[in-house]
Amino acid sequence: MMHTEDRPPSRHLDGNAAAGPLAELFTVDLSVAIMTCAHCGHSAPLATCTAYADAPALVLRCPGCTGVILRYSSDRGTIRLDLTGARLLAAPLPAEQQP
């Protein structure tokens, strides 16, 4: 049986860790965006997703099924965004842009 102190430290953060890097691509506030998982249909705020920021790409996983929702990297002058695991991303327009 493995003791708690023998476990490796957790590498993941919450989805707020993705809001800053993704601001390079999106101009809306993604910390309040709702992500819908393409794997299980679970909808949740981006901030509640599990973020792995130390992988070759930033990876967000679904809080419902742990499936990969999003991969993002910014390297050598190119931004790459893989949303294969996201059925929908919904974010409110800033107040000054609303009709």
Contacts of 77 (CB under 8 A, 6+ apart): none
Least Cβ distance, residue 64 to Zn ion (angstroms) = 4
DSSP notation for 29-97: -GGGPEEEETTT--EEEGGGSEEE-SSSSEEEE-TTT--EEEEEEEETTEEEEE-TTEEEEE-PPPGGG
Q: Does 12 bind Zn ion (CB under 5 A)?
A: no
Q: CB-wise, 40 or 83, nearer to Zn ion?
A: 40
Look at the block and give the residue holding tokens 């929908």. 88
Least Cβ distance, residue 77 to Zn ion (angstroms) = 32
Q: Which amino acid is at 11?
A: R
Stretch that binds Zn ion, among 19-27, 51-59, 60-68, 73-81 (CB under 5 A): 60-68
Q: Determine which residue in the list 12, 14, 34, 42 makes contact with Zn ion, applying CB under 5 A.
A: 42
What is the size of the binding site for Zn ion (CB under 5 A)?
A: 8
Residue ranges binding Zn ion (CB under 5 A)? 37, 39-40, 42, 62, 64-65, 67
